[in-house]
Amino acid sequence: MGEIIDTLTWRSSFAGYVRHWAATQPDAPAVTVGAPDDAPDDTLAYGELDALSSRVANALGSLGVGPGGRVGHLGRNRIGYPALLYGASKQRATIVGLNWRFTARELMPLLADSAPAVIVVDDEFRATAEEAVAGSGIATTLLSGDDVAAWAADDDTDPGTESQPDDVALIFYTSGTTGVPKGAMLTAGSIANHLTRPTPWTMTPSSTVLVASPMFHTAGTGWLYLPGSCGSHCVVLRDPAPAQILERLSRHRVTHTLLVPTVIRMILGAADPASFDLSALQTMAYGASPIPPALLARAIEAFGCEFVQAYGMTETGGPICYLWPADHDPSVPGRLRSAGRPLDGVEVRITDPETDEPCPVGEFGEVWTRSDQQMIGYLNRPEATAATVTPEGWLRTGDGGYADADGYVYLTDRLSDVIVTGAENVYPLEVENVLAAHADVAEVSVIGVADERWGETVIAVVVPRPGVAADDDTAAALIAHAREHLAHYKAPTRVEFVAELPKNPAGKVLRRLLRQERAPKT
């Protein structure tokens, strides 16, 4: 697995980054959060961010949050989140990312599992947080995410605590095929290891990086601390809209950004990048869901910068494969379908799902990976951890694909039934459980089908109870029921009624057949 890298340097923790750059370039802009509409952006220089994060650290300490303590964050991208991230690190505490799109019902098991001593929550989500806290039975303190400076301590003296490689820095919740949330734990050491690997771009103190992903995603928080480790200026968007993304790319002379394919499609459909000055843009990374080659070709032409595909997942602690700029050659269209090649120091192999043996070149199997940057396991879930990570350290990704003779990895399908819609994961069983509780439903199966805008969209195939009309009114009622109990992106966009669901001899619903029957005709 390799030894932890840089354990004795400032690069070994989030706190180390802000301390170093505050001492090196205190007046340089560290982070700007783009406000909605015409409101002015909020900016903190590295010296200001260091001082505010120390105030946050001291406030957390006064609330009993020390090494190993957990701090939940339930909010949009705001200027206080970087101070919280670095402040928690100064106490050797753990940030627990919470999806602000979740209902109280969805948040309850996450809070019961992680039991954060403090939750920083935006005012607009406070009622949801209060309901979730009450339902989870934990004891916690709620603090405002709208104005972190209001509750931060007056004392900006740095506590001086140094993180250890085994400290859990981040917990992000992800789900398996059961739909039960699991907290993937990333340590300070695993994050440091990831940041030492060669990348297809170069970030320096003169770089400006735009982040359009929410902070409860590894992509959002990762692209906050990545430029922070380089002394770059990080521009974060709170509620990114296509025109706002283009305007901020131009206004701040952004050099690097990461966008999911859904957002790239929305930008190209809503505005003309040529109308904005994007001459500073050097690299656009994309990932989180598949991108159609035709859309990628349009984007390369429209933005005129280098493109990089990043393939990874929450459990891998960042990308494990890159498709480098040189591989984005339209004259070799087959290569654009690849997820790229493994990073130096990261092992990736294609494994036979039946035998767990490596597959020959070109043969389909499950993608496995092993490195010192991946999670150390799922919080409080030893059985789930053992099912995902082998005793030899190989992490089963659940993605199916193959590798060619040059080592390029091609993803062809998922071995699980997870649906990726707009870069968000939806787990069918979770949606099925909600719909099955409706009085009109006898049986239900939830699948994802290709969608031009979102990559995939959620469809519920329903066997109605006797006497229930299989019509638009019933379908609308089921969608409304799902939206009442789940984040809206998890709710089906369409309900189809059938007399029976296809099943194997053991009675298991064959989602594969349902997907095949509803796949777009080519």
Q: What is the pLDDT of residues 11-46, one digit of tens each?
A: 889 999 999 999 999 999 999 998 766 667 899 999
Q: Calculate Rg over the CA atoms of the chain.
A: 23
Tell which wins on pLDDT, 413 or 409. 409
How distant, in Å, are the alpha carbons of 25, 286, 453 from that of 291? 39, 9, 11
Over residues 151-179, mean pLDDT? 88
pTM for the whole thing? 0.84
Task: Report the alpha-carbon angle 315-316-320, nearest 5.
Answer: 155
Per the listing, tokens 């394919």 go with: 261
Per DSSP, 75 falls in state S
Segment (H or E) for 298? helix 293-303
Task: Report the alpha-carbon angle 232-236-242, nearest 5.
Answer: 125
Whole-angstrom distance, CA of residue 181 vs CA of residue 198: 32
How distant, in Å, are the alpha carbons of 31, 46, 233, 236 from that of 227? 9, 12, 7, 11
Number of other residues whose CB lies within 10 A of the CB of residue 352: 14
Residue 129 tokens read as 């947080």
**Phi/psi at 415 (nearest 5 deg)?**
-75, -25
Q: Where are the domains of the chain?
A: 198-345, 420-518
Give the pLDDT confidence of 280-305 residue by residue, as tens digits: 999 999 986 667 777 888 899 999 99
Residues 6+ apart with CB under 8 A from 61: 91, 159
pLDDT of the residue at 506:
53
Q: DSSP per residue over 146-199, as a string? A: S-HHHHS-S----------TTSEEEEEEEE-TT--EEEEEEEHHHHHHHHTS--
Cβ–Cβ under 8 Å, residues 154 and 133: no
Residue 479 has pLDDT above 70, yes or no: yes
Per DSSP, 414 falls in state E
Per the listing, tokens 């005709």 go with: 521
Cβ–Cβ under 8 Å, residues 128 and 152: no
Residues 6+ apart with CB under 8 A from 198: 343, 344
Whole-angstrom distance, CA of residue 12 vs CA of residue 439: 54
Residues 6+ apart with CB under 8 A from 314: 172, 174, 184, 218, 375
Give the pLDDT confidence of 111-155 residue by residue, as tens digits: 999 999 999 999 999 999 999 999 999 999 999 999 999 999 999
Whole-angstrom distance, CA of residue 69 vs CA of residue 160: 17
Confidence of residue 6 (pLDDT cuts 50, 70, 90): very low
Whole-angstrom distance, CA of residue 7 vs CA of residue 163: 9
Per the listing, tokens 């690190």 go with: 89
What amino acid is encoded at 72 in this protein? G
Residue 132 tokens read as 């979730």
The three state secondary structure string of 8-73 is CCHHHCHHHHHHHHHHHCCCCEEEEEECCCCCCCEEEEHHHHHHHHHHHHHHHHHCCCCCCCEEEE
Give the pLDDT confidence of 70-109 residue by residue, as tens digits: 999 999 999 999 999 999 999 999 999 999 999 999 999 9
* Chain centre distance of CA 85: 16
Least confident of 47-61, 136-150, 220-234, 407-421: 407-421
339, 361, 410, 414: which is closest to 176 by C-alpha?
Answer: 414
Whole-angstrom distance, CA of residue 82 vs CA of residue 221: 9
Give every strand in the sheet of 42-45, ordered side by side. 42-45, 29-34, 233-237, 208-211, 256-259, 283-287, 306-313, 318-323, 341-342
Cβ–Cβ under 8 Å, residues 47 and 16: no
Give the pLDDT confidence of 171-186 residue by residue, as tens digits: 999 864 445 789 999 9
Residues 6+ apart with CB under 8 A from 245: 210, 212, 237, 259, 263, 267
Whole-angstrom distance, CA of residue 359 vs CA of residue 365: 7
Residue 73 tokens read as 């964050």
Give the pLDDT confidence of 293-339 residue by residue, as tens digits: 778 888 999 999 999 999 999 999 999 999 999 998 877 767 888 89
Give the pLDDT confidence of 200-236 residue by residue, as tens digits: 999 999 999 999 999 999 999 999 999 999 999 999 9
Cβ–Cβ under 8 Å, residues 211 and 260: no
pLDDT of the residue at 175:
66
**Phi/psi at 13 (nearest 5 deg)?**
-160, 160
**Phi/psi at 374 (nearest 5 deg)?**
-80, 170
Percent of the chain clearing pLDDT 70 (strictly above): 94
Mean pLDDT over the full length of the chain? 90
Whole-angstrom distance, CA of residue 254 vs CA of residue 121: 29
Q: What topology does CATH give the domain 198-345?
A: Rossmann fold (3.40.50)
pLDDT of the residue at 333:
67
420-518 homologous superfamily? ANL, C-terminal domain (3.30.300.30)
